[in-house]
Amino acid sequence: MPNIPWEKRPSDSSNIVWRYSKNPIINWNPIPGVARIFNSAVIPHNGEFIGIFRADHRNGRPYLHAGRSKDGINWQIDTDKINWIDKNGNPVPPGYAYDPRIVKIENTYYVTWCTEFYGPTIGVGMTKDFKSFIRLENAFLPFNRNGVLFPRKINGNYIMLNRPSDIGHTPFGDIFLSESPDMQYWGRHRHVMGKGDIGWWQSTKIGAGPIPIETTEGWLLFYHGVICTCNGFVYSMGTALLDINQPDKVLYRTGDYLLTPELEYETVGFVPNVVFPCGALYDADTGRITIYYGAADTYTAIAFTQVDELIYYIKENSVIDE
């Protein structure tokens, strides 16, 4: 994907991850009836890009909308939410839906998100053409959030990172991994990594972010980490490398965040102080990575990094706290 969004690191910056100078790329009231679009996921498609967006409607409830872009920055987002159907073509009632991820596995696009099922858990759906969207079984019992599939089967099974949680705002949380032979039955649950005092920014809870990126050094994972301050939660972004064949094994993990709320669109908004990555584009030839993140539960923003520099950084600064 040579045409993924890209901007050079500013000459006065030595950050491993740097923000797009024209952030945010999606602002307040982006389409009729929708107040805010954030925490959203993107994927390459026919030389262009498709996004699955978390759109908080003016009634306050979040739904998923599809969108298209030639450059990954300017988006045409459908004004209608995605209407899921079941395998027999019958409409599935739209519950709330938030924090989507999208991945292509063997010619099928899978979407996972936080769905309504007697409380939040992980919904799963698929599409081949972005016209009909078929709802599959929910992956887990309530309560669970941050369901993130790997982009290929590992040892014959689909693998999903996930974060057991509660029905509220969850003052705890580690990243687990579950396996499925058929995208229906999930089991062989494993603990991947915990919140930790290795960095106070991730001391309350953590959750997987974009689809893990396969590299020669392991699965590159971006995740969010949360601290509970006297003014509430603050969401930052960290990174880790997981073993290629046994991805519940953490090889390296940084103690410092890569991105934390600093700029106005991250610190001021519907929920202040949130940086929440849900999508990433990777060009293997140049090593460029574009990360899509929600800012302050209000905006969509992007940031950039270079894979070889990032991996070097993770290895040099690794602090494992398992």
Q: Which residues bind ligand BMA (CB under 6 A)?
A: 39, 98-99, 169, 235, 271, 274, 276, 294, 297
Name the minimum Å distance from CB 224 to ligand BMA.
8
Name the minimum Å distance from CB 99 to ligand BMA.
5
Strands 250-253 and 275-283: unpaired
Question: Cα(first)–Cα(last) distance of the chain, in Å?
Answer: 36
Looking up tokens 């057991």, which residue turns up? 164
Contact in structure between 278 and 62 (CB atoms under 8 Å): no
Name the minimum Å distance from CB 102 to ligand BMA.
16
Name the minimum Å distance from CB 265 to ligand BMA.
14
Distances (CA, A) of 302 to 16, 53, 269, 320: 14, 14, 17, 28
Name the minimum Å distance from CB 4 to ligand BMA.
24
Residue whose CB is nearest to ligand BMA in the complex, by number: 271
Give the span between the Cα atoms of 291 and 278, in whole angstroms. Answer: 8
Name the minimum Å distance from CB 39 to ligand BMA.
5
The smaller minimum CB distance to ligand BMA, of residues 70 and 169, is found at 169
Give the span between the Cα atoms of 251 and 314, in whole angstroms. Answer: 10
The smaller minimum CB distance to ligand BMA, of residues 99 and 179, is found at 99
The smaller minimum CB distance to ligand BMA, of residues 220 and 274, is found at 274
Residue 222 tokens read as 């971006």
The smaller minimum CB distance to ligand BMA, of residues 39 and 306, is found at 39
The smaller minimum CB distance to ligand BMA, of residues 124 and 307, is found at 124
The smaller minimum CB distance to ligand BMA, of residues 252 and 276, is found at 276
Contact in structure between 254 and 240 (CB atoms under 8 Å): yes
Strands 84-85 and 133-135: parallel
| Phi, psi for 308 (deg, rounded to 5) | -70, -40
